[in-house]
Amino acid sequence: MRPSGVAFLLAQIGAHAAGRFADRVAGLGLTPAQVGVLRVVAQQPGLSQQALATELGVVPSKVVALVDALEHRGVLERRRDPGDRRLYALHLSVSATELLGQVREAVRQHDQELTSVLTPAERDQLAGLLRRIADAQGLKPGVHPGYRDRLGSGPEPERGPRD
Amino acid sequence: MRPSGVAFLLAQIGAHAAGRFADRVAGLGLTPAQVGVLRVVAQQPGLSQQALATELGVVPSKVVALVDALEHRGVLERRRDPGDRRLYALHLSVSATELLGQVREAVRQHDQELTSVLTPAERDQLAGLLRRIADAQGLKPGVHPGYRDRLGSGPEPERGPRD
DNA sequence: ATTCATTGTTCTTAGCACGAACGGTACGCG
DNA sequence: CGCGTACCGTTCGTGCTAAGAACAATGAAT
């Protein structure tokens, strides 16, 4: 049982990456799940909460809390769909543009820091291999099963030194 | 955005791999955390629960439940340390040998299935890149921050961008 | 001998995910 | 028009997991 197998390394690094990303967006006052909402709504404006739930693979009741937080923050708007007044039409507000830019920058830095030990060629190589695996495993781009939401507060298992 | 998106792919595939592994060892009646216990005790027989807790990066109270289950299953033994009767000396029982073999086989199959789309050379390449990342990020071999124990089947929360 | 630290355990508490139930709206059909 | 059914968003209750505090037993120190 060599813990140096590829699958274990993937799980280990993946959890680490997710945790670090959560820390990063926590600096922007966001959780990873909220970031996912922003991304989907940015790509498909006017979406309903139900559609958002199925898109993200999340229970509708959780979408309520996510949208609540983002709306209270002023980056997301619940407009009534004029055709069907049961549905909300989700739209990003104008003030969301700046936040979205900050999120993109955080993503860029996150990616950079994680692969800083690789050369650009190696990074592309790695991306290609991973994409092939993700594709073969039937993982859709943009969604993945759930990590924890808040991984930033309090003492946690074991984390690397360089902090 | 057209960056490599390596970090997101790692988190996505890592979560997927962890879930699949949990499913696999569930077939043996084990949780991933219990597998970790078996691995550590196999490598360092006679170690105490406290040492095991720090080694795995989990709370001592959780080690109690883990050891309880494995002991009740007959694969782990709590012997008293003759030098210090506060400590337990954890040892694998003889019947653990077969189970350990099954676990090793499950790990092998898991690794194989996950990387079945790659050639052996590519798999080695991937392993090398991942090891370098894990090393650079200060991840110790054999431990990784906590996933959930039972990551069953079905869609789950979400996170992450990918423009 | 007394006092303090350590080990393993139990108990309590907080947080989260999920399903069930509820008001409100739309649509079909007689 | 009236009625039943189906859908959306929301709230509530339940079960589960994780983490911290408190406790008995043992050892170490002065």
- Strand D neighbours with CB under 7 A? A 48-50, 53, 60-61, 63-64, 67, 78, 86-88, 154-157; B 58-59, 61-62, 84-86, 146, 148-150
Å: A51 CA to D5 C1': 22
CA torsion, points B29, B32, B34, B36, in degrees to nearest 10?
A: 140
- B60-118 pLDDT, tens digit each: 999 999 999 999 999 999 999 999 999 999 999 999 999 999 999 999 999 999 999 99
Q: Which of residues 71-90 of A touch B (CB under 8 A)?
A: none
Q: Which residues have a Cβ under 8 Å from the Cβ of B43 and sit 6 or more positions away?
A: none
How crowded is residue A36: how many other Cβ atoms within 10 Å of its Cβ?
26
Closest CA to B87 of B53, B59, B47: B47
B130 and A6 within 8 Å at the Cβ level: the answer is yes
* Tokens (6 digits) for A111: 């990616």
Percent share of chain B, pLDDT over 70? 86
Q: Record the pTM.
A: 0.87
A60 CA: distance to closest CA in chain B (Å): 11
> How far is Cα A160 from Cα B140, in angstroms, rounded to an integer?
8
Close Cβ partners of A143 (under 8 Å, ≥ 6 residues apart): A36, A55, A56, A57, B12, B158
- Over residues B112-135, the pLDDT tens digits come to 999 999 999 999 999 999 999 999
CA B160 – CA B34 distance, rounded (Å): 29
